[in-house]
Structure 1
Amino acid sequence: MELVKNSVWNVRKVDGVPSGLYRVLQIFEDISCLILFYLDNPKGITRPMAIELDKFSKYIKQKQILEGRFLLPPHLLLSEEEIDESYKMIRDENFSFIEGLVSDPEFVFDYATKSRVPRLAKHANSKGKARTTISRLLNSYWRYGQDKNALLPAYQYSGGAGQQRKVSEKPLGAPKTSRTLAVERPKTFIVTDTDKDNIRKSLKKHHLKTGGINLVETRKELLREYYAAEVKRAKALGEAPYVPSYKQVREWKYKLFTKNEITEKSSTDRDYLLSKRELLGDAKQKWPVPGSCFEIDATVADVHIVSSFGKQYVLGRPTIYSIVDRASGLIVGLNVSLYFASWRAARQALANAFLPKASYCKEFSIGIQESDWPAAHIPLRLMCDNGEMIGLEPQKLVVPLTELQLSPPYRPDFKAMVERRFGLLNDEMIHKLLGTTRGGKVVRGDRDPRKDAIYTLKEFTALLIDAVLELNRSIYNSLATSSSLLIEKNLSPTPLNFWKAHIAEHKHALKLADSSEVISRLYPPAKASMTRDGIEYNNMYYSCDRVVQGKLASIARTNGQWQLDARINENTTNYIYVRFDKNDVFTKCNLLGKSNMMKDQPMHESEFVMDWLDKNHEENPISVESIDSKVIRTNIERNAKTRAKNDDLTPTEKVKNTRERRNIEIEKTANKVEDNSVSLPQEKPKSNTEPKPSSVVYLPRRKR
């Protein structure tokens, strides 16, 4: 290592040289000598020492002397512009006292090697200063780097800053003063070590804990526990008690405890980690490329929706599932349903994230290209809640596709990216809709938001998709500093550009999803029936080429219907996926024309129709008229049976001459009608030309 002037060295186990840090003051190569100054004695006056240069170099090679480091105090680390003018004057004056000595190498050598240096005393007399003053200035100059700024005044240490003062009989600080001469203020309480201990105990017991009382009440508890006798004595004598004041308790709170201790003790571990801990890391450092980690979470939308078949029926607030890529912030998956946060809704969102988005947006009348929302991949890992995703079903169905990571309970900061996207969607779109609850911020007396609900589930989902596409195109400054690709390609720092740029450079952890595997694993399973009218599910009928070519509907009509495994897309009724054989893949079946009323509707609307039918059946099990008709039928039946009992004819006589009796019955019936028509009062004919009523005319009989 190179030996230079002003360098610092750490000396260890060298004969004749005490161990510690040393600064090189001068190097005399002509006499092979080195002048060192000991740095580990900041208060006393220290004289330099001389050592042979060859000896010092030998110990450096033997690792007994190592390169060291001496930290300068903060008041010496200021630029010239930051130093106060009065400090500069003191510095320059102090330097003028020793300038003639430190600039002379011969004096430094004599001062280090000789016990008596008359020149130092003569110089002190010429400057009008004491010899010890000059020696202290020399020590400061050599200790702090042989620079003029080493002589700056260290006022930051004045007054015992950061140290507790010793207790005395005289109160510290400004005395109490009376605003008027008529009132005499009590004397100031002097806080002793015992009082400090009492204050510490009371603060820990009553104030510095979860749900602790405020400082005013804490002082009252302090007086009750430790100064009750003094309060009673003062009350008896009619004077102010000699006890710690509120200001003293507040002051010693910050002296006895650090600010971080106060924060930690006053909050729970969860609250501290969630809201008060330091934020020194960045999720993008650990997961720097798209696909490293997806975050999934659910929230109840802050808006009420209505049924598409009956706008007067409010269905409540839907559940939004969102999946966000942690590296880019791109929203890669979305699902809106009437189910609460559950595995049934989560699997639909995962399927949406793993499959192309153009067809999904088309179901809601939004036309996009695949490049507008290019996320159709499986990530390396999936960060999810320790709730609906902890069961056996997610483990069986999702783990073969990607790795599941569960966040701790009550720690939404582990999914900060997706949580923030919910907040942005609320601010940008949801809280501006009719029927919104504005996140629960409803003023008393406001109109019930359910009465203003006008959007159906399909309309709300379409609005949400549009807002998601806009968020994916929004600029985020943090993306520009997390990767240099956007700057190299001169792209705006948007999640969409970040995603595309890294995919183009093959810097990602994504893998393409097989659509049939995603459908079979993640779409909700259901049972459909093969009937004569087609494949029936929820009173809706579907068909496909396999049904037509195999004449399966005809077989079901002849031999009876049978059940099929199905997979349902909750977002639409236009199609379902059906497996005709256990060894087949799922086939897409489209809605038939006979079920066109349900076309382009979310799947929950079919369930609404079925619920509506069930409700009507329950409200009207039979009609009131059917009860009356039942009574009439019973009476007629009773009269007929009574007449039959009174009949003496044999069965043979009953069926004999049926044709003649039929003709007689017809004649009697016709004559009865004619007699009834004659007996009615007749109106005066309007004209003599009108034909008169004729007798009954029999129609010709058909040939046998």
Structure 2
Amino acid sequence: MEIVKSSIWSIDQFDGVTTGRYRVIRVFEEIPCLVLFYLEKEKGLSRPIAIGLDKFKNGIKKNLILEAQYTLPYHLLRAEEEIDKSHLKIRDENYELIKDIANNGEFIFDYATKSRVPTLAKYAKEKGKDRKSIARLLDTYWRYGQDKNALLPAYQYSGGAGQQRTVSEKALGAPKTSRTLAVKRSTIFIVTDTDKENIHKALKKHHLKPGGKNLVETRKELLREYYAAEVKRAKALGEAPYVPSYKQVREWKSKLFTKNEITEKSSTERDYLLSKRELLGDTKQKWPVPGSCFEIDATVADVHIVSSFGKQYVLGRPTIYSIVDRASGLIVGLNVSLDFASWRAARQALANAFLPKASYCKEFGIIIQETDWPAAHTPLRLMCDNGEMIGLAPQKLVVPLTELQLSPPYRPDFKAMVERRFGLLNDEMIHKLLGTTRGGKVVRGDRDPRKDAIYTLNEFTALLIDAVLELNRSIYNSLATSSSLLIEKNLSPTPLNFWKAHIAEHKHALKLADSSEVISRLYPPAKASMTRDGIEYNNMYYSCDRVVQGKLASIARTNGQWQLDARVNENTTNYIYVRFDKNDVFTKCNLLGKSKMMKDLPMHEPEFVMDWLDKNHEENPISVESIDSKVIRTNIEKNAKTRAKNDDLTPTEKVKNTRERRKIEIEKTANKIEDNSVSSPQEKSISNTESNPSSIVYLPRRKR
């Protein structure tokens, strides 16, 4: 089991250590020991503790120490562009105060093992700050993942948002103001616990029931039942009664009852199930250890692909983003999309590198174990181009997770590992596919490769993932001479074995990434809508347990839809991540059955369908046949109006004897079978036909 920096562990009555969750803030290989930080203490300061590495591993074997999870506060799970500039300034100022000691191994060890640490007081004096101020910043920094963003101000806890204020003698809110000085407004009513109970009873009795009274009438009933004496007293004295206002009754309605309670109580069960419930049915030398440096780069694949909805629609060549660990050569991240090399596509590749891979491979029909592709960490630094990665957006979003290093222009050798992986993928797989351009090596007169394209984006991605897994298992002789661990453990010199061996011996520079933080900060932000049919995004509908249990679709149907912040994985339409409240983390929502046509497709396919529909509307604004139909309808209407105008009958004569006229009309126009004993039906039909060619010919009757 991996013991990496920033991982969370739950300790239960082990060797005198307080029971609770701890974060690993440092692993010392020389001693050997690791330093843990206690996470359960909400108030007051905590100090890290040191524990022997062998003792810690022994606790894991005895199941006294288990892996755990720790949810970060919501204000740390926001994208950089969503954070207020003033908050960023406070964060940077706080980080400047502690950056010299927060990751200093000698100080961390002394702080964890000694009761008095003069270094801290001396450091605080140099910074011109109180020792406790520095200690509080260190506490926050270690508690929330040793990340720069951990020092963002937590203003969501200020002001008592969402809490009921304590009743006092002074009225809450703005006072009543008069438009003119000639009129004096009444005193603001202070709502007590008794008043809340009275309002609750009145709303439940008169308003929140099938066919209940509106809120204005309900307030009148409230005053008649509970404030009659006050109304009479004020009338006798000629002043305004001291009673709850309409606005107060309306506000306390939303506080005393949830939206769904209001909907359910105001409807009968049948009406609720029929009209108001949710509709979810149908529903190497310088970089010796893994994590020292990752390389990221993009290339246009040497193959053309087609649309999933029509193999005749060629979509061009996709863009491949690859991330490779420089020490081991392991491909740790991958993304294939129709976007050109851009920050939008790069952030998808980074999210893939920082998150587990088993679920990603499963989306493309490839079943693996986490140990088959164990890369799900952030590196010490990230080497990238000065193209799409030199902009402000990647600096804001990625730097808090890792450090960016830009390669010089026109120097691909600075990213030799990732560039070589592109060459290997071309040689091993891409240049053997139908529709390949073979790197532009096309002889004049050769067949256009676009005409041979047969693979969809999902199929090409699945082939690419399989090729990546094979490259990670391939033998590279250079790995055997770069580290003695592979020889000591008698392992083949493959990138995968190199990675695992160094992780097991804690010889790496990797940091465990929090999945919720990666999703909220790296997946492209989008806007979804909560509707009666579920969560709508790009004309597709999603849902999750939160929607069902909270009956949010029913609320949207009754009270109108609203927008939600979302994060989108552009590799699949099967799910999106949605934040239902500004204080919540992002929740995974799965595709509903009503959008099953879009299942197991990349996000660009729904956009293709929408473009196809727009094209059809532009080409066919109206049908040609409708033009002739309009002329026919106009002529018929004109003739009918002319006939009616020449009719001399009165309205009474028109409607008189309707039944008799109807019967006569039927006899004139309908077929009639008669029983004629003189002549046979055949003879009668022949004679009638000869005498009157336009007469009706009756068929022979069947003998009974």
Please indicate, yes or no, whether the TM-score normalized by the shorter chain is above 0.5.
Answer: yes
**Corresponding residue SS for 1:503:** helix
CA 646–310 in structure 1, closer or farther in 2 if over 3 Å, else same:
same
* Aligned mates of 1:685, 1:672 — CA distance in 2: 15
The answer for the alignment partner of 2:382 in structure 1 is 382
The answer for the alignment partner of 1:631 in structure 2 is 631
The answer for the alignment partner of 1:662 in structure 2 is 658
The answer for the alignment partner of 2:320 in structure 1 is 320
Per-residue Cα deviation, 1:187-245 (whole angstroms, up to 9, x for no partner) = xxxxxxxxxxxxxxxxxxxxxxxxxxxxxxxxxxxxxxxxxxxxxxxxxxxxxxxxxxx
* Amino acid paired to 1:580: F
How do residues 133-212 of structure 1 correspond to structure 2 at under 5 angstroms?
Answer: none
* Amino acid paired to 2:666: A
* Aligned mates of 1:671, 1:687 — CA distance in 2: 20
**Corresponding residue SS for 1:535:** strand
CA 657–553 in structure 1, closer or farther in 2 if over 3 Å, else same:
farther
Q: Kindly state the Cα deviation for residue 686 of structure 1 after the two structures are TM-superposed.
A: 7.3
The answer for the alignment partner of 2:308 in structure 1 is 308
Please state if 1:343 is matched with 2:343.
yes
CA 674–366 in structure 1, closer or farther in 2 if over 3 Å, else same:
closer
Q: Kindly state the Cα deviation for residue 636 of structure 1 after the two structures are TM-superposed.
A: 2.6
**Corresponding residue SS for 2:311:** coil
* Aligned mates of 2:564, 2:654 — CA distance in 1: 57
* Aligned mates of 2:383, 2:409 — CA distance in 1: 13
Identity of aligned residues (%): 88
> What's the Cα RMSD here?
2.2
* Aligned mates of 2:474, 2:553 — CA distance in 1: 51
The answer for the alignment partner of 1:552 in structure 2 is 552
The answer for the alignment partner of 1:234 in structure 2 is none
Please state if 1:415 is matched with 2:411.
no
CA 445–376 in structure 1, closer or farther in 2 if over 3 Å, else same:
same
The answer for the alignment partner of 1:354 in structure 2 is 354
CA 531–680 in structure 1, closer or farther in 2 if over 3 Å, else same:
farther
* Aligned mates of 1:346, 1:488 — CA distance in 2: 38
* Aligned mates of 1:621, 1:688 — CA distance in 2: 54
* Aligned mates of 2:467, 2:702 — CA distance in 1: 83
How do residues 243-282 of structure 1 correspond to structure 2 at under 5 angstroms?
Answer: none
* Aligned mates of 2:671, 2:413 — CA distance in 1: 96
* Aligned mates of 1:596, 1:552 — CA distance in 2: 22
Q: Which moved more, 1:529-538 or 1:316-325?
A: 529-538
CA 429–583 in structure 1, closer or farther in 2 if over 3 Å, else same:
same
CA 378–680 in structure 1, closer or farther in 2 if over 3 Å, else same:
farther
The answer for the alignment partner of 1:404 in structure 2 is 404
The answer for the alignment partner of 2:476 in structure 1 is 476
The answer for the alignment partner of 2:676 in structure 1 is none
* Aligned mates of 1:604, 1:684 — CA distance in 2: 65
The answer for the alignment partner of 2:117 in structure 1 is none
Give the TM-score, by structure 2 length: 0.55
**Corresponding residue SS for 1:311:** strand
The answer for the alignment partner of 1:108 in structure 2 is none
Per-residue Cα deviation, 1:450-488 (whole angstroms, up to 9, x for no partner) = 111111111110110011011111111111111111111
* Aligned mates of 2:401, 2:701 — CA distance in 1: 98
How do residues 90-129 of structure 1 correspond to structure 2 at under 5 angstroms?
Answer: none
* Aligned mates of 1:402, 1:676 — CA distance in 2: 92
Q: Kindly state the Cα deviation for residue 687 of structure 1 after the two structures are TM-superposed.
A: 5.1
* Aligned mates of 1:377, 1:322 — CA distance in 2: 15
* Amino acid paired to 1:342: S
The answer for the alignment partner of 1:226 in structure 2 is none
CA 680–289 in structure 1, closer or farther in 2 if over 3 Å, else same:
farther
* Amino acid paired to 1:543: S
Give the TM-score, by structure 1 length: 0.55
How do residues 468-547 of structure 1 correspond to structure 2 at under 5 angstroms?
Answer: 468-547=468-547
Contact 2:485–2:501 (CA under 8 A) maintained in structure 1:
yes
How do residues 560-571 of structure 1 correspond to structure 2 at under 5 angstroms?
Answer: 560-571=560-571
**Corresponding residue SS for 1:570:** coil
The answer for the alignment partner of 2:669 in structure 1 is 673
* Amino acid paired to 2:427: D
* Aligned mates of 1:444, 1:497 — CA distance in 2: 45
Q: Kindly state the Cα deviation for residue 642 of structure 1 after the two structures are TM-superposed.
A: 3.9
CA 470–657 in structure 1, closer or farther in 2 if over 3 Å, else same:
same
CA 609–531 in structure 1, closer or farther in 2 if over 3 Å, else same:
same
* Aligned mates of 2:701, 2:522 — CA distance in 1: 88
CA 681–363 in structure 1, closer or farther in 2 if over 3 Å, else same:
same
* Aligned mates of 2:616, 2:634 — CA distance in 1: 28
* Aligned mates of 2:570, 2:533 — CA distance in 1: 23
* Aligned mates of 2:700, 2:316 — CA distance in 1: 72
Per-residue Cα deviation, 1:156-188 (whole angstroms, up to 9, x for no partner) = xxxxxxxxxxxxxxxxxxxxxxxxxxxxxxxxx
The answer for the alignment partner of 1:289 in structure 2 is 289
CA 549–626 in structure 1, closer or farther in 2 if over 3 Å, else same:
same
CA 623–668 in structure 1, closer or farther in 2 if over 3 Å, else same:
farther
Say how many residue pairs are matched: 404
* Amino acid paired to 1:553: A
* Aligned mates of 2:655, 2:700 — CA distance in 1: 43
* Aligned mates of 2:326, 2:410 — CA distance in 1: 20
CA 666–683 in structure 1, closer or farther in 2 if over 3 Å, else same:
closer
* Aligned mates of 1:546, 1:663 — CA distance in 2: 62
**Corresponding residue SS for 1:404:** strand
Q: Kindly state the Cα deviation for residue 681 of structure 1 after the two structures are TM-superposed.
A: 5.1
Q: Kindly state the Cα deviation for residue 526 of structure 1 after the two structures are TM-superposed.
A: 1.3
* Amino acid paired to 1:660: K
Per-residue Cα deviation, 1:385-426 (whole angstroms, up to 9, x for no partner) = 111111121111111111111111111111111000000000
Contact 2:307–2:605 (CA under 8 A) maintained in structure 1:
yes
Q: Which moved more, 1:365-374 or 1:618-627?
A: 618-627
The answer for the alignment partner of 1:333 in structure 2 is 333
* Aligned mates of 1:507, 1:658 — CA distance in 2: 101
Contact 2:671–2:696 (CA under 8 A) maintained in structure 1:
no
* Amino acid paired to 1:572: T
Q: Which runs of 5+ in 1 are unaligned?
A: 1-283, 692-704
* Amino acid paired to 1:319: T
Per-residue Cα deviation, 1:45-92 (whole angstroms, up to 9, x for no partner) = xxxxxxxxxxxxxxxxxxxxxxxxxxxxxxxxxxxxxxxxxxxxxxxx
Structure ranking higher on relative contact order (CA contacts 8 Å, 6+ apart): 2
The answer for the alignment partner of 1:574 in structure 2 is 574
Contact 2:386–2:407 (CA under 8 A) maintained in structure 1:
yes
* Amino acid paired to 1:667: K
* Aligned mates of 1:285, 1:432 — CA distance in 2: 35
* Amino acid paired to 2:339: Y
Q: Which runs of 5+ in 2 are unaligned?
A: 1-283, 674-687
Contact 2:321–2:349 (CA under 8 A) maintained in structure 1:
yes
* Amino acid paired to 1:320: I
How do residues 673-692 of structure 1 correspond to structure 2 at under 5 angstroms?
Answer: 673-674=669-670
Contact 2:331–2:468 (CA under 8 A) maintained in structure 1:
yes
* Aligned mates of 1:611, 1:539 — CA distance in 2: 13
**Corresponding residue SS for 1:596:** helix
* Aligned mates of 1:327, 1:472 — CA distance in 2: 13
Larger CA Rg, structure 1 vs 2: 1
Q: Kindly state the Cα deviation for residue 668 of structure 1 after the two structures are TM-superposed.
A: 4.4
* Aligned mates of 1:685, 1:648 — CA distance in 2: 38
**Corresponding residue SS for 1:286:** coil
Q: Kindly state the Cα deviation for residue 448 of structure 1 after the two structures are TM-superposed.
A: 0.8
Q: Which moved more, 1:424-433 or 1:388-397?
A: 388-397
